[in-house]
Structure 1
Amino acid sequence: MAWHASPTFGFAAELMPLPRPVNRANKRGEGGNRAMPTLEITIDVSDAARLGVAAHIAATVTLPEHAPVDHPIVCFARPSSSYTRAYYTHDLPGAGAGAQAAFHAARGWIFVALDTLGCDRSPEAEALDRERLDFATLAAAAHAAEQDILARLANGVLLAGYPPVIQPTVLGLGLALGGALAIYQQARHRSYHRLGVLGFSAVHTHPLAPPGGELVTVGWYPRDAGLETGWGEGAEPLNAEALAAAERSGRGGAAWAALAWGFHYDDVPREVVERDLRHYDAIAGGTAEHGDDGPWYARRTPERAARSTLTPGVVATEAAAITVPVLAAMGERDLVPDPAGEARAYRSASSMDLFVCPRMGHVHNMAGTRALLWERLDLFGQWCAAVRAAS
């Protein structure tokens, strides 16, 4: 069965049972719903993007109630190509509750959720040529925006009355395409002290079928394949013969059943799953510009970069070059066919951690176990800050 949808989501059936850490959110009575100080900013990245037109990245900064003094953590988080930064800052519908940004801010993090360049809802973003939004451009723009925010924090000018944040541990976080971009950015720009890759495989990101289902076939495109090189929309993928054979099987409808299985675990309400799939269909078909399903849904996607997300080893060289500690985290159903094999990709990393969150689909922040994933990220962040402080 062939699958031609946007290469940013998938499904896996691997589960590595891990001991459940103590949920400090429950002990503290802070499950991520508590209001935290937030700041909306827009950063000019025109020089870094080098598109010849104005380019800006929007970010939401969620601050802890009390400014961190010892070993501060600043986390920069990017969603997949189908979502906006609100994926992290809103209490999303689903089986669980709470917003990830508030969850981490309650534990002392400064959490910065950024839109991917060209994926926000502004008229300026709509005017950007999505065929020019390749890995290099998106990473350079994100790095510039993050460095701007770090400079404001260090100089105490991000928010009036908020004290300077000196020498924080900087954590990069990305979901799906956001994870691929974080890997690329770290290798090229050395943006982070530590890296969290969510729902993305540095070996081979691929959607798997549910139990008893048929394995889907997806298009493989070279990284940054663009119109000017003959690799734009409608171009033949590298595995064109396999796709043609899959299409001849006439079982394309099964892909959508597999999609629902991979996006969300069984406890997510049906209406939430259906709404998410409608948005996915609109993004894949280029008709999402006027949707109103929720502020966490993107209206457009960086097509040039997204096109190659499911190609084997799309950022393999960059992943191998990363030297900082890495946490690869994913749901029980996700884009990562072989979670235990992810360690091979990060051969230069000083530390590599793995977490497969039970009862979770690829859309982590709509899962009933979302707080369990956030708790694991919090433990990783605190450990990273402690190790860096001791170095």
Structure 2
Amino acid sequence: MNALHLTLDTGVALPGEPVLKIGASVWWPGQVTQVTTLLLCLPGGNMNRRYFDLRAPDGDDSFSFAAQMSARGFIVAALDHLGLGDSSKPRDGWQLSAEVLVQANIDATAELLARVHQGRLHPDLPALSGLRSIGVGHSMGAMLTILQQHAARQHAAVVLLGFSTRGLPEYAPPAVKDVADPLAVRPQLATIAKTMFGQPYPLIHGQGAGNERGSNAELFGSKKADPRGIAALKAATDCLLPIPAAMSMMPGNVAPEAAALDVPVFLGIGERDMVGPAHRVPAAFTGSHDLTLYILPEAGHSHFLFPARTRLFNRLSAWLRALDGEPAPSMR
């Protein structure tokens, strides 16, 4: 697997800030001339882009989405949201609404794809003018993937992991969980987020495989989470972005945009995920004529920590190749 780490310019300018940049990583297989697909990945709440390249202390790369999917013949790219990882971190983090994050990700995606299509990304990558992009998002990153696709239609399909438009009403304050019209609440999210979190870049503590409900136990879901994966996850843990986090908790969070998606949708959900009843999740995607639900057995919210991750990588690989009629390669 080859890797490149870089920053990408955006057209987003906030008051008192220079033009903002997005931290990105790209991984690709040794042979790229036959590659047809780039997976553009967005991490979830309080995670940076390293979530898609989890590396165990013993070197095991089976937790790494980037390593496993590039080995299956795909180019994988991951972005840091503004405020996280290597992306620009505005002094006033309360300016980082979902709309600002989405626009920055749209700009970074367009720049990245242009470089890949024109052969300007890396000397080892020839021009891949026919390469299509697939949006991949986990948790809050899936919500932002939906919003990005709705706004810019950059992807041929989307892969949404650990997400539903149900939100997280059990954790949300009344101002969010009891709303009748989520669209009407969006202008109030900054005020709601300030009340909920108090600071623009809060750190979330108490993550652990054995923690009880309310201490992010659903992040792991059960003791079947591999301790090596949990150790690797620490390197990807970052601060939280309160406004999009509050939005993701709200029932019906991006329901209008989800219903408008008209591209193929792959829904990956852990059997012990945080999304509510898994079989109810597809009902939100009424505009897609190609909808797949895959439930990872005995997995919690952070899917890559569980034994079922290999099944997910194989199933997703087969689904991606079926989009253009290619047979799936055999993988052990």
Q: Which amino acid aligns with 1:371?
A: T
The list of structure 1 runs, each at least 4 consecutive aligned residues, that deviate by more than 4 angstroms after superposition, is 49-52, 92-96, 269-273
Match of 2:260 among 302, 321, 325: 321
Determine the C-alpha separation between the residues in 2 that align with 1:224 and 1:198. 27
Work out which structure has the larger RCO, using CA pairs closer than 8 Å and 6 or more positions apart in sequence. 1
Q: Deviations over 1:223-249 (max 9, x none)?
A: 35355xx4342269xxxxxxxxxxxxx
The 1-side partners of 2:264 and 2:313 are apart by 18
Offset, 1:103: 0.8
Q: What is the Cα deviation at residue 375 of structure 1? A: 1.5
Q: Say which of 61, 69, 81 aligns to 2:34.
A: 69
> CA 1:153–1:100 in 2, change beyond 3 Å: closer, same or farther?
same
Q: Distance in 1 between matches of 2:53 and 2:250?
A: 30
Answer whether contact 1:326 1:349 (CA < 8 A) is retained: yes
Indicate whether 1:306 and 2:245 are aligned: yes
Q: Which residue of 1 is the match for residue 63 of structure 2?
A: 98
Question: Which residue pairs with 2:12 in the alignment?
Answer: 48
- Pair 1:196-2:196 in alignment: no
Q: CA RMSD in A?
A: 2.7
The residue that corresponds to 1:17 in the other structure is none
Of 344, 368, 380, the residue aligned with 2:319 is 380
TM-fit CA distance, 1:105: 0.7
How far did residue 138 of structure 1 move? 0.8
Counterpart code for 1:354? L
For 1:43 and 1:218, how far apart are their aligned partners in 2? Answer: 34
Residue 218 of structure 1 is matched in structure 2 by 172
- Identical columns (%): 26
- Give the AA of the match of 2:168: H
Which structure's CA Rg is the greater one? 1
Counterpart of 1:40 in structure 2: which amino acid? Answer: H
- 8 A contact 2:23–2:86 mirrored in 1: no
Counting only pairs closer than 5 Å after superposition, residues 85-124 of structure 1 correspond to structure 2 as 85-92=49-56, 97-121=62-86, 124=88
Q: 1:99 to 1:235 in 2, by over 3 A?
A: closer
Write out per-residue CA displacement over residues 259-314 of structure 1, whole angstroms, 9 at most, x where no aligned residue: 325523322256976x79xxxxxxxxxxxxxxxx843111x222111112111111
Match of 1:163, as an amino acid?
P
Deviation at 1:69, TM superposition (A): 2.4
Paired with 1:164 and 1:177, the residues of 2 have a C-alpha distance of: 32
For residue 160 of structure 1, report the CA deviation from its aligned partner. Answer: 1.1
- Describe the SS at the equivalent of 2:12: helix
1:275-354 equivalent positions in 2, closer than 5 A: 294-298=234-238, 300-354=239-293
Change (3 A) 1:51 1:362: farther
- Correspondence for 1:255: 213
1:186 is displaced (CA, Å) by 0.7
Aligned partner (choices 247, 272, 295) of residue 356 of structure 1 = 295
Structure 1 pair 131–320 and aligned structure 2 pair: CA distance change class (3 A) = same
Equivalent residues of 1:82, 1:297 under 8 A apart: yes
Q: 1:78 aligns with which of 42, 46, 63?
A: 42
Tell me, which stretches of 5 or more residues in structure 2 are unaligned?
177-184, 198-210, 327-332
Q: Letter of the 2:251 partner, please give it.
A: P
Structure 1 pair 172–52 and aligned structure 2 pair: CA distance change class (3 A):
farther
What pairs up with 1:241-252 in 2 under 5 angstroms? none
Normalising by structure 2, report the TM-score. Answer: 0.82
Give 1:137's aligned residue.
Answer: 100
- Report if aligned partners of 1:49, 1:138 keep a CA contact under 8 Å in 2: no
The answer to whether residue 142 in structure 2 is matched with residue 184 in structure 1 is no
**Secondary structure at the residue paired with 1:218?**
coil
Tell me: CA distance 1:148–1:262, structure 2 relative to 1, closer, same or farther (3 Å): closer
User: Does the aligned pair in 2 maintain the 1:49–1:141 contact within 8 Å?
Assistant: no
Contact 1:49-1:140 at 8 Å conserved across structures: no
Q: Is the 8 A contact 2:51 2:236 kept in 1?
A: yes
Cα displacement (A) at 1:187: 0.8
Q: Determine if contact 1:84/1:115 at 8 Å carries over to the other structure.
A: yes
Give the counterpart of 2:194 among 233, 236, 253: 233
Matching residue's letter, 1:379? A
Cα gap change, 1:235/1:149 in structure 2, threshold over 3 Å: closer, same or farther?
A: closer
Residue segments in structure 1 that go unaligned for 5+ positions in a row? 1-35, 208-215, 237-252, 277-292
Partner AA of 2:29 in structure 1: P
Query: Given the two structures, how large is their TM-score scaled by the length of structure 1?
Result: 0.70
Q: What is the number of residues matched between the two proteins? A: 302
**8 A contact 2:261–2:288 mirrored in 1:** yes
Structure 1 residue identity aligned to 2:45: S
